[in-house]
Amino acid sequence: MTVAVGDIVALSVAGSGQLRWVVSGFLSNPSGRREAKLVRKNMYGTYSSYQRNTEGLIPIETPVFNSGDKVWVDGNRGEYMSRDGDIARVMLAVRRRQFTGVGFIEIRPAIATVSYHLLVVENRKV
């Protein structure tokens, strides 16, 4: 079974056991084999990445977001709108930010474009 950008896969990594990753892209290695670029959030809240031959990946889930689904983008609430290739569009909700000396400022709804694989990392258990 082949995997695509945004798919959740399992991979055994020496010393860490079997971990879940999200496919962020593909490339060819010098021998001509297809490799997947993988990403996941680590325990420190930053991202870890890994590159592995696609034949060694175990497909777990192909996440699907429907128009209107509630999602998070970089910690901001929003609604999933659509996907165009590896890019997703999300309507961010109204939010407020506090600025020193000014107080709170309301930020109106806005459309954000985000890499689909990062949307999966933030909105699915990986």
Residue 10: its pLDDT value, please?
A: 94
Quick one: 57 and 87 in the same domain? no
Q: State yes or no: pLDDT of 98 exceeds 90.
A: no
Mean pLDDT in residue range 16-40: 90
Instruction: Please give the mean pLDDT across all residues of the chain.
Output: 91
Query: For the segment 69-95, what is each residue's pLDDT rounded down to a tens digit?
Result: 999 999 899 999 999 999 999 999 998
Domain membership of residue 110 as a residue range: 70-123
Domain for residue 32, yes or no? yes
Query: For the segment 49-60, what is each residue's pLDDT rounded down to a tens digit?
Result: 999 988 889 999
pLDDT bracket for residue 102 (50, 70, 90)? confident
Quick one: 78 and 113 in the same domain? yes
CB 38 within 8 A of CB 54: no
Cα gap 31→19, rounded to integer Å: 26
Residue 76: its pLDDT value, please?
A: 92
CB 88 within 8 A of CB 116: yes
Quick one: 114 and 74 in the same domain? yes
Count how many domains the chain has: 2
Residue 1: its pLDDT value, please?
A: 58
Quick one: 116 and 80 in the same domain? yes
Residue 11: its pLDDT value, please?
A: 86
Q: State yes or no: pLDDT of 17 exceeds 80.
A: no
Which residues are within 8 A (CB) of 12 and not within 5 positions of it... i.e. 6 or more apart? 18, 19
Mean pLDDT in residue range 61-68: 96
Quick one: 49 and 93 in the same domain? no
